[in-house]
Amino acid sequence: MNKLLATLIATLVAGSAFAQATAPATPAVPAVPATAATVKAEAKADKAVAAAVKSEAKVDAKADTKVEKAEAAAVEKKTKAVTKSETTKAKAQAKAAKADAEDKTKATAKAEKTSANADAKADKTVIKADAKVETVKAKAAADKGIAKVETNAVKAEAKADVKAAGSK
């Protein structure tokens, strides 16, 4: 067991020493003198990439704003539904309390039914509001993903243009 442990530690030390070895002094890609066409292509590529990144950021911000608005609207809608439910239940309970002794049972049953219906309606509203927020979030994520893909395409196209200009 000790030999195994010693071997593993020695391998670890040797591996880390090898990983920290200095890189060769010569660059992997030979330096090509920049021609006017290459410089122009690089400038054009940088401009295109900057525009794409700016566009992506704009799409991201717009998507985030949509999500925030949807969440705020959902909170407002939920609060309104719950408040309306509580008000309806309170009115029903008050009406049942005012009922005559002979009608008390019937009024109480009606109040309970009204309360159940009010709760059900509020729950439906809450569920629909949450579903709408999730839909907006999904669309926002899709918009962000599309923007990211478009930015990556512009970057790849720019890189290819610079490479093509350098080979002329």
Q: Summarize pLDDT for 105-115 with one digit per residue, the tens.
A: 999 999 999 99
Task: Indicate whether 113 belongs to any domain.
Answer: yes
Q: What does the radius of gyration of the chain's CA atoms come to, in whole angstroms? A: 34
| Global pTM value | 0.66
Instruction: Give dist(CA 130, CA 80) in Å, integer.
Output: 14
**Does the residue 152 lie in any domain?**
yes
Mean pLDDT of 42-59: 92
Q: Is residue 71 part of a domain?
A: yes
Number of domains making up the chain: 1
Domain that includes residue 132, residue range: 35-166
Examine the pLDDT at 123 and tell me if it is beyond 80.
yes
61 within domain boundaries: yes
When the pLDDT of each residue in the chain is averaged and rounded to a whole number, the result is: 86
CA dihedral 79, 85, 86, 90 (to 10 degrees): 160
The string of pLDDT tens digits covering residues 65-96 is 999 999 999 999 999 999 999 999 999 999 99
Cα 142 from Cα 63, distance rounded (Å): 9
122 assigned to some structural domain: yes
Domain assignment present for 21: no
Q: Is residue 24 included in any domain, yes or no?
A: no
Q: What is the mean pLDDT of residues 46-55?
A: 92
The verdict on residue 59 lying in a domain is: yes
User: Whole-angstrom Cα distance, residue 156 to residue 168?
Assistant: 19
